[in-house]
Amino acid sequence: MEPAVAALPEHVAIEPSVLYFGTPVVLLTSANEDGSDNLAPISSAWALGRTVVLGLGAEGQTARNLQERPELVINVPGPEQWRAVERLAPLTGRDPVPAAKAGVFRFERDKFAAAGLRPQPSETVGPSRVAECPLQLEARAERVRPGASGGFVIAEAEVLRVHADPRIVVPGTHHVDPAEWSPLIYNFRHYFGLGAELGHTFRSETPRTP
């Protein structure tokens, strides 16, 4: 008797308004024209080697800053920082507020104070780090170009220095301990942390039994 074959799951075609299917949140610090910090949350970031690719709204202050002043810090918050991230969400560093953001966003000059976060001096770039973020990547935007849709820009940032809270580093190494580190995840406009570990890739440098 042949074993039963499980039926393939059925799918339905949908048109979701967003495609944030579980992406990390980062806080970008960039330099305004007067040298002050602009701090903005984004949910489109991924790393390839020492390059981090960032998706930014074309009308935002961060996109403008990086096109003129390429230094930045990619601050990676943990789940416990989600309220600070949400306090930043309706703010913009553009004054006047662009038409595309009017009625939804409001201008705020001091975003660190508005979010209840503290600036921390960087070592290789001008913009400040976010002291509360367990991971901080000082970087330089080597390329900033329009996205295919026109409403976004894509920045390719080369990481110059990485700072980590020692509590998430494997002692005596330069490895982040996946058991101690959990990023803040943006899942269809809801905030999540990571669940229990399921396993690790064969290329892991910190293998362990879940």
| SS3 at position 179 | coil
Q: Where would I find the beta strands (DSSP E) of 121-205? A: 129-130, 135-146, 152-164, 185-187, 190-192
Q: What pLDDT score was predicted for residue 208?
A: 72
C-alpha count within 13 angstroms, C-beta hemisphere, residue 199 = 3
- Hey, what amino acid is at 67? Q
Using alpha carbons, list the distances in angstroms from residue 95 to 71, 98, 158, 164: 21, 8, 29, 34
Query: Cis (ω within 30 of 0) for the bond into 96?
Result: yes
In the numeric block, the tokens 């879940």 are attached to: 210
Q: What pLDDT score was predicted for residue 6?
A: 82
Q: What pLDDT score was predicted for residue 204?
A: 83
Are 34 and 24 in contact by the 8 Å Cβ rule? The answer is no
pLDDT per residue, tens digit, the chain (210 aa), is 667 778 898 999 999 998 999 999 999 999 999 999 999 999 999 999 999 999 999 989 999 999 999 999 999 999 999 999 999 999 999 899 988 888 889 999 999 999 999 999 999 999 999 999 999 999 999 999 999 888 899 999 999 999 999 999 999 999 999 999 999 999 999 999 998 887 877 778 888 765
